[in-house]
Amino acid sequence: MLLASVIGGASALAACLLPTFSDVLPGATTPTSDAGPDVVDGEAGGGDGGLAGCDDPLGAFAIWPMTEGGGSVIHDCNGNYPGTFKTTAQGNVTWTTGRTIGEVALQMSGGYVALIDLPALQIAGPFTVTAWVNASSQQTDSFGDILARYASISTAAFDVTVTKDPLVSLTLFSNGNIVQASGNLTYGVWKHVAATYSSATGNAEMFVNGASTGTATTAAPLPTIPTPMTFGANSVGTSVYFGKIAGIHIYTRVLVPAEIATLAKP
């Protein structure tokens, strides 16, 4: 009995001292304890599916933290809107290092992510879209979509694109009218981008690293056409974005500048 007691005590001590997989693999997506309630999809205390990066006191409609670190599917924090990696003639989507040590991100190298096609994602405003991006000079198309509800000019609502300048722009498509609000990026540097649109006023605004960089106004509402949402290209696999993407948030309201500045903090 004494020997059994000693062995049991040693086993308990080893369990306390040995690291877990999440201790030794930076970026491992094991469930994390939250400092406060998640507010995702309008539900306080919404589940995070074991993904890191799901805390959001601003009430996001959906968050894709992109912290899985493997596989070919990404998930939003409540598990409602998965996205699948797609290839194009230009390349594919892989996992890469993120903004800081231990973080991961999507490497868009000619591929894109197609989200599940549900009416809830046919957003036409009001909205705020935010993401961390690191644009690449390998951009080949004139426009590379970070996020889009676009298949063609006649079947488009909006997109957030990167041009070769590089500029980031929110483009609104409404009854044949096209308006843009833009801001400057830097190749190879992580930037926080945010795009807002008010369906009540028609006002659109672009933010880079928490600062307003451009505005535009459209007189007509955005169409409520059933165009799927995609990350990294449009829904037909053109306007391909090259670079890294992490942490896409969508809100069904216009965030105020102070809220956007909070999200843009490193």
User: What gap in Å lies between CA 9 and CA 4, rounded to an integer?
Assistant: 9
pLDDT band at 147 (very low <50, low <70, confident <90, very high): very high
Phi and psi angles of residue 3, each rounded to the nearest 5 degrees, phi first: -65, -45
Tell me, what's the pLDDT at 185?
96
DSSP state at residue 60: B
Which stretch of 8-12, 20-24, 169-173 has the lowest confidence by average pLDDT?
Answer: 20-24
Residue 13 has pLDDT above 70, yes or no: no
Residue 20 has pLDDT above 70, yes or no: no
Domains of the chain from N-terminus onward: 59-263 (2.60.120.200)
The answer to whether residues 158 and 257 touch, using CB atoms and an 8 Å cutoff, is: no
Q: What is the mean pLDDT of residues 162-174?
A: 91
pLDDT at position 7 over 80: no
Q: Which residue has the higher pLDDT, 164 or 240?
A: 240
pLDDT band at 175 (very low <50, low <70, confident <90, very high): confident
pLDDT of residue 228: 87
| pLDDT over 50 at 261, yes or no | yes
Does the reported pTM lie above 0.85? no
In three-state secondary structure terms, 105 is strand
pLDDT in tens, 51-109: 888 989 999 999 999 999 999 999 999 999 999 999 999 999 999 999 998 899 999 99
Confidence of residue 18 (pLDDT cuts 50, 70, 90): very low
What pLDDT sits at residue 223? 83
What distance in Å separates the CA atoms of residue 49 and residue 214, rounded to the nearest whole number? Answer: 36
The mean pLDDT of 23-43, rounded to a whole number, is: 35
Residue 43 and residue 170: Cα distance in Å, rounded? 28
The Cα 85–Cα 115 span in angstroms is 9
More confident residue, 129 or 178: 129
Backbone angles phi, psi at 36, to 5 degrees: -145, 180
Residue 22 has pLDDT above 60, yes or no: no
